[in-house]
Structure 1
C-alpha cells in the first residue's frame, strides 16, 4: 500500500491513462479524485472502483484557471490535504503543420496540455508547501524531445510541459515537492484509437511503432505503473526527471 493515507488528483481521468492512474493509486491505498471535462466520465471511473471506494469525481476544464482553483479548493476542503497531482489531461492536434494550425487550434492545444499543467500545479502548490511534501507528475510525451509525434501545437505544448516540470522541481524541491514527467510513446487509448483504424491510420505512426524495440503500442496500465512509482516514496530522490515509456521510440 504505497499510497496509504494519501490524496491523489488525476486530470483527464475519465478514460485512458488517467483512468488507469486512478485505478493504480486506489489499489495502493490512496483516496483518489478523478477530474475530467465530463462529469459522467469522471464519475464512471470512480464508480468502477466499487461501492466503498475512497474517491471523488469532479468536472473541470483544465485550461480554465478558475476551475483549477475550484477543484483544488474542494479537494483540500473535503480531505484536508493533497499529496499527488497528476496533470494528465491532454488533446491531440492530428499532426497539423504550422501553416495549417489555426489560432483556435493552437490556443486549445496549448491551453489544455500546457496551461492545464500550470494552472493545476499553481493551485496545488500552496497546500503541498504547507504539508512540506507533495508529488507533481506531468504527462508529457516523446514529443517533448523529438518532432513527428504530433503537429506544431502538440509538439510545442509537450516541450513546454517538460520545461515547466523542470522549473517546478528547481523552485519547489526545497519545500519537499517533487516534480517529474512521464513521456509516453504510442499508447492505445480512446484519444489515439482512431489512429488504429483504416480511416485514421497515419503511416508515420505505423512505421515508427513497428520500428521500436517493443514493436507494439503501449497500454494505459504501463503508464500508470510509472505514475505510481513517481507518486510513491520509492522515487524520493528523483526531481525534475523525464521518464520515457515508449517501447524505445526515441532510442535512435
Structure 2
C-alpha cells in the first residue's frame, strides 16, 4: 500500500502529541520554497510518492546565493534562479513537497537518522527493530540505496549523548511511544497497513523530529547489524503477514 507523503504528514499533524515533532512541510510552489528558505537555512524537496531517498533535492542558503544539490550534482544560484534550478532536477510526472531541513547529528563524521520498523502480524502493532541509518560520506540522505548503512542504535546514541544513559533511554522511550501513536493514527485511516518504517531525526542539540512514515519499508539495514535478532524477527513477521493477509 502506497500513501503519499503529504497525506501521511497531514494525518499525523492532526494528532496533538505528534504535531510538535513534525518539521514544517508544504506542497512545493515557487513562493513556498522561497518563504521556507528565508526561515530555515536548508530545505529538502521530496517526491510525494518517492522512496529509498530517490529524487530528493537539497537547497541550502549560503551568504549571498543558494546551493541546489541533487545526488552528486549541484548548482550555485541566486534567489531569482533558485526555483528554476530546483525544476531542472524534478521529474515532470511527479508532485513534490518541500520540508524544512534539519541539522542532523553525526556519527563518525556522517549524518544519521533512525529507522523504527513496525509490524502488525496480529491485532497489535509491535516494534520489530530499531537501527541507526548512517549516511555515506558527504551524502545528505541516509537511505540504504544511497550508500547508507546500519549501525546499532544504542552505540550511536551513546556516542551522541557522551555515554549519558538517561538521555539515551529517554530518546529510545520517546521514539517507542511516538511510533505507537503514529502506527495507530495512520491505521485508523488506512486499515490495510501491516508494516511501517518510521524515520526519526535527531539534531545536534538532541532535538527529536519525525521525518516520515513509510508504508513499504525496506529492512536491508538490519542485515548490517552484528546481532541478527531484529532481522530474524522482521523476516518471521513478514512471513506471518504474507500467510495471514495475502
TM-score (norm 1): 0.29
Larger Rg: 2
Give the strand-richer structure, 1 or 2.
2
Larger helix fraction of residues: 1
TM-score, normalisation: structure 2: 0.29
